Structure 1
């Protein structure tokens, strides 16, 4: 089944064919430079968004590529060279209901998908970073691969969700039966100390794309 991620990845591939970034491709096509930004590929409600037919037509016209060229890229991304596909969600939507079960495993049908090599956890998923609270380690638009079943140790970078729905990316400093101590990745932001009963789940970050 064709996925939103296949279309967006094909546009990215078309940009690379012409030595362009996605922003430069949009600009050449006479579009707003942010048209193809990763933040524009998902709605505020966390739903994946298709590129408009008008923007695709303008890109093809600006690059001289044919619809067949784009379809070839889409097919190539869909196959993804045998890669596994991981669920993907925008970080801003991670606190919403319906995306995770009580143990922090991805559920529901609202996730987008991205091709990614096998990571050894069938329940692994990707979060797309938004904002600057995790800089300089993770920047806006980076994707972190999260394993809800991996064991968590002191010093690990983790995703934490509270029972109230707050989601944060921190470094685990200390975990006891009563409290979880977390350090901020951005020195401009404070660390957190949470009572164990406040925390819904903690999941380890395995990898990040930058």
Structure 2
């Protein structure tokens, strides 16, 4: 019976029809990464990612192959990209390949192939969104009133704000506002400056802040 977490993970992956390359891609890693883990052991910070990808508990990685392997929960790797990349996402997404991002988030949500994640910067969305929080954005989800969106407002970078529609203009185009939750920042309007919605938030991950 395999004893190391990487050995347990590879055995379960094989039983589910995943070769080493497919297993690595599911984690947002490379086959070379997995080969390195086989030699030196799996890094502790990847245990949760591997467990989620295989639909097992982290404990199962250390307890050997369980007698009953839970059904897969359907993990998916979402690239964490920069605000600049998000601003150009419509142009670069089709060229974006697995492994191009430095970091990935795992989710079991049913999302489009173009979904991505952003790290919240600054304090314009306090108190609900803290710096360092992560949000997953799906470009193929249309926003509803009150949703949070990533948008491009003429700057190079994308911004993250609350979406508030304001009705149609004379040309039949939807006029909307991008509203910060922090009143110290201005609201943006699509009839005053060009704004393009990049995608709608489908998941928000908060992280404990150091005291």
* TM bracket (short chain): 0.5 to 0.7
Residues 84 and 156, structure 2, Cα contact 8 Å, conserved in 1:
no
Cα distance in 2 for residues equivalent to 1:80 and 1:160:
33
Matched, 1:203 2:188: no
Could you tell me which runs of 5 or more consecutive residues in structure 1 were left unpaired when the two chains were aligned: 8-66
> Which of 119, 127, 131 is the equivalent residue of 1:140?
131
- Does residue 156 (structure 1) correspond to residue 147 (structure 2)? The answer is yes
SS in 1 for 2:163: strand
Distance 2:107 2:155 in 1: 31
Q: Structure 2: which 5+ residue stretches go unaligned? A: 1-20, 30-39, 54-74, 207-211
Larger radius of gyration: 2
Are the equivalent residues in 1 in contact too, given 2:149–2:160 (CA < 8 A)? yes
Give the superposed CA RMSD.
3.2
TM-score by length of 2: 0.56
Q: How big is the shift at 1:202?
A: 3.8
Once residues 179 and 50 of structure 2 are traced to their aligned partners in structure 1, the CA distance between those partners, rounded to angstroms, is 39
Number of matched residues?
Answer: 144
Question: 1:81 aligns to what?
Answer: 52
Q: CA deviation at 1:115?
A: 1.8
The 8 Å contact of residues 105 and 148 in structure 1, kept in 2 or not, is answered as: no
Match of 1:101 in 2: 90
Q: Which residue is 2:178 aligned to?
A: 182
TM-score for the superposition, normalised by structure 1: 0.56
Residue of structure 2 equivalent to 1:193: 189
> Which residues in structure 2 correspond to 1:1-210 (within 5 Å)?
68=41, 71=42, 73=44, 76-77=47-48, 79-82=50-53, 83-91=75-83, 94-95=86-87, 97=88, 100-102=89-91, 105=93, 107-109=95-97, 110-111=100-101, 112-175=103-166, 176=168, 177=173, 179-195=175-191, 198-210=194-206
**Does structure 1 conserve the Cα–Cα contact (< 8 Å) formed by 2:176 and 2:190?**
yes
